[in-house]
Chain A
Amino acid sequence: AQSVTQPDIHITVSEGASLELRCNYSYGATPYLFWYVQSPGQGLQLLLKYFSGDTLVQGIKGFEAEFKRSQSSFNLRKPSVHWSDAAEYFCAVGGTGNQFYFGTGTSLTVIP
């Protein structure tokens, strides 16, 4: 069955520190992977996506993610976190048809 797991419910980092948010997926075919960010009371904004090709993908706001097929992972990273990055982050996997599967989200707190 298709699923997405985000092991970390909540992460706290200091401003300027590096960040890595974990995402593991289970999907029978080639996955199409996405990271979204949600600010409080807002919808979801697409950060980046992976379909094929280079396994390291660059997104908006300085984020990047690396697809590792052997580990079924698609972790999100940022070298230096800004206070405005505090939000909820969702990993998602999509496939054929209209199916999208979201992880449970990771809440990021940034301390000054």
Chain B
Amino acid sequence: GAVVSQHPSRVICKSGTSVKIECRSLDFQATTMFWYRQFPKQSLMLMATSNEGSKATYEQGVEKDKFLINHASLTLSTLTVTSAHPEDSSFYICSARGDISYNSPLHFGNGTRLTVT
């Protein structure tokens, strides 16, 4: 159980365009999902916490107008990278907790490799 699906796994886009990444909880409802960014050979950097039915909470230094998050249902959160630039190229990973217990682990999607040319 507690499967998180992320799509697409890879995307290449031109500079200035926007890209949408989807994160779905397949067998559970996730009121909260998390979006991370990972640079090569580095750890995960939390970008934002996505809350169903309300605004996302962004970490300090993350541009909310560039990284738009929509958590429209209990099973779907989307991250849209707007007006993408080469420096936005990275590995983006979403995650969710399997249940609302505060000690439940995070379950991760397989990530999206974004390359902006």
B58 CB to closest chain A CB (Å) equals 13
B12 CB to closest chain A CB (Å) equals 14
Task: Knowing A43-B109, A94-B103, say if A104 contacts B43 (CB, 8 Å).
Answer: yes
B44–A102 CB distance below 8 A? yes
Inter-chain contacts of A72 with B (CB < 8 A): none
Task: Report the separation of the CA atoms of residues A96 and B97 in the bound assembly, to the nearest whole angstrom.
Answer: 13
Which residues of B in the span 14-61 have a Cβ within 8 Å of any Cβ on A? 32, 34, 41-44, 46, 49
- The main secondary structure of chain B at its interface with chain A is strand
Residue interface mask B43-86, A partner, CB < 8 A = 1? 11010010000000000000000000000000000000000000
CB contact between A102 and one of B43, B49, B103 (< 8 Å): that residue: B43
A43–B108 CB distance below 8 A? yes
Inter-chain contacts of B107 with A (CB < 8 A): 46
B43–A103 CB distance below 8 A? yes
Task: Report the separation of the CA atoms of residues A95 and B97 in the bound assembly, to the nearest whole angstrom.
Answer: 13
A43–B44 CB distance below 8 A? no
B116 close to A (CB within 8 Å)? no
Inter-chain contacts of B7 with A (CB < 8 A): none
Which residues of A in the span 48-66 have a Cβ within 8 Å of any Cβ on B? 49, 51
Task: Knowing A46-B107, A90-B43, say if A95 contacts B102 (CB, 8 Å).
Answer: yes
A107–B41 CB distance below 8 A? yes
Can you pick out 21 interface pairs between chain A and chain B where the beta carbons lie within 8 Å of each other?
Answer: A32-B102, A32-B103, A41-B91, A42-B111, A43-B108, A43-B109, A44-B106, A44-B108, A49-B105, A51-B103, A90-B43, A92-B106, A94-B102, A94-B106, A95-B102, A97-B102, A98-B32, A98-B49, A98-B97, A104-B42, A105-B43
Binding site for A on B (CB under 8 A): 4, 6, 9, 32, 34, 41-44, 46, 49, 91, 93, 95, 97, 102-103, 105-111, 113
Binding site for B on A (CB under 8 A): 32, 34, 36, 41-46, 49, 51, 90, 92, 94-98, 100, 102-105, 107
**Shortest 3 CB-CB distances between A and B: which pairs?**
A43-B108, A44-B108, A43-B110
